Amino acid sequence: MKKGLLIVLSGPSGSGKGTVRAEVMRRQPFAFSVSATTRLPREGERDGVDYHFITREQFEKRIQEGDMLEYTEYNGNYYGTPLKEALAEINAGRNIFLEIEVEGAMNVKRAYPEAVLIMLLPPSFSEQERRLRGRGTESDEVIQGRLDRTHEEMSFFPQYDYVVYNEDINACADDILSVVRAETCSVKRYPTAHISYFDT
Amino acid sequence: MKKGLLIVLSGPSGSGKGTVRAEVMRRQPFAFSVSATTRLPREGERDGVDYHFITREQFEKRIQEGDMLEYTEYNGNYYGTPLKEALAEINAGRNIFLEIEVEGAMNVKRAYPEAVLIMLLPPSFSEQERRLRGRGTESDEVIQGRLDRTHEEMSFFPQYDYVVYNEDINACADDILSVVRAETCSVKRYPTAHISYFDT
């Protein structure tokens, strides 16, 4: 059984990673790994289906035990991807796609070095600024904060495997799905794939 | 200017590499690098267009000087790809596609380590044998020779970057063009691509 891929997409504010992710998902199914969270279930949400609803204590214990592939804290609640669940999908030959920020991606790479890290960038920094200002929903200060943060995020760039520039959503999805397809053919990734050739 | 890629496709007898190459070329243009040969020009063939027609002495001198990316001898004549010409295309940002046998591919990798080596294989060894026998044009001895040679060729397999199994020509062309597209996004291949991001 050929292992699946763990694909991680990151990108600075204004890179369009949410839209690109949606287009990738629309074109090709990826395995779904149920996230864990410490927030309370909303009406209709089911434990183990929508989320694994666990306590703060349980979540922090799993972080310490290295069982969170990546996690983030938002509005006082933790959200994360349990490592064991993700590995179960990968070992069953299914691909997982995570859209997470740079720090999370670095955690994933540490926990699972075979992960494929893709950085999505706007076509240029000036275009990134133009896009952020074009939204018209954020103050100059917030926008400047996002642009400053891009400098920090880019310091992790050399640890990414691929970079995709978002001029066009379809072209980005083509790039990302080409990476998935190419990695599936990689000899280094599957170094023993040929050994059985003569037995078949 | 982003350098182009040097893509090398090899495959044992019966892998269908000629057909797959034609399908790849039909879908996407690659730069054409004029080969050199020691055979005499045929009616209508022009020097520098169809081939660089050179003498045996000149050819051997270029081999010794490391100026043949790869070459082969066939029917008493040399055929080869001049390194300088191929590099001129690559440096101008154009991709080159060579379909050559394993030994030639190893020469290319030595002369130009950034080359992307793709091995095309039949779906299985028994299928390879079935395809070779199905041609009905070769003696058992010749077929056995081709199958024996596959064992030798496969010893170079770990030096290839990608492997594609030929069950279907369209799927093979998709795989190969995905490799081309993914390599174009590779951070390791273009490690300085992002440095200018904030200047743009």
pTM for the structure as a whole = 0.90
Alpha helices, DSSP H only, in chain A? 17-27, 56-64, 83-91, 102-111, 125-135, 140-154, 169-184
By C-alpha distance, the chain B residue nearest A177 is: B178
Of A164, A182, A199, the CB nearest to B162: A182
A contact test, residue of B168, B197, B199, B200 with most A CBs within 10 A:
B197
- Tell me the mean pLDDT in the region A150-179: 96
Domains identified in chain A and CATH numbers: 1-31+95-200 (3.40.50.300), 32-91 (3.30.63.10)
- In this prediction, residue A150 has a pLDDT band, given cuts at 50, 70 and 90, of very high
CB contact (8 A) between residue A175 and residue B187: no
pLDDT score recorded for residue B199: 81
pLDDT score recorded for residue B76: 92
CB contact (8 A) between residue A124 and residue B175: no
- The ipTM estimated for the assembled molecules is 0.89
Cβ-based contacts under 8 A for chains A and B: 100
- Residue B34 near residue B60 (C-beta atoms within 8 A): no
Choose between B159 and B101: higher pLDDT.
B159
- Tell me the mean pLDDT in the region B64-88: 91
- Tell me the mean pLDDT in the region B51-58: 96
Residue found by looking up tokens 């691509």 in the block: B193
pLDDT at A115 over 80: yes
CB contact (8 A) between residue A174 and residue B188: no
pLDDT tens by residue, A41-51: 999 999 998 89
Backbone dihedral region for residue A93 (phi beyond 0: left; psi -120 to 50: alpha; all else: beta)? left
3 state SS for A117-174: EEEEECCCHHHHHHHHHHHCCCCHHHHHHHHHHHHHHHCCHHHCCEEEECCCHHHHHH
Q: How far apart are CA A80 and CA A98, in angstroms?
A: 11
- Tell me the mean pLDDT in the region A190-200: 80
- Residue A150 near residue A101 (C-beta atoms within 8 A): no
Instruction: Supply B46's token pair.
Output: 């022009």
pLDDT score recorded for residue A122: 95
A32-51 as b/e, with b when 16 or more CB fall inside 10 Å? ebebbbbeeeeeeeeeeeeb
Alpha helices, DSSP H only, in chain B? 17-27, 56-64, 83-91, 102-111, 125-134, 140-154, 169-184
Q: Is residue A70 classed as helix, strand or coil in its secondary structure?
A: strand
- In this prediction, residue B193 has a pLDDT band, given cuts at 50, 70 and 90, of confident
pLDDT score recorded for residue A191: 85
CB contact (8 A) between residue A162 and residue B126: no
Question: Quick one: CA dihedral B168, B174, B177, B182, positive or negative?
Answer: negative
- Residue B71 near residue B77 (C-beta atoms within 8 A): no
- Tell me the mean pLDDT in the region A170-198: 92
Of B119, B125, B194, the CB nearest to A163: B194
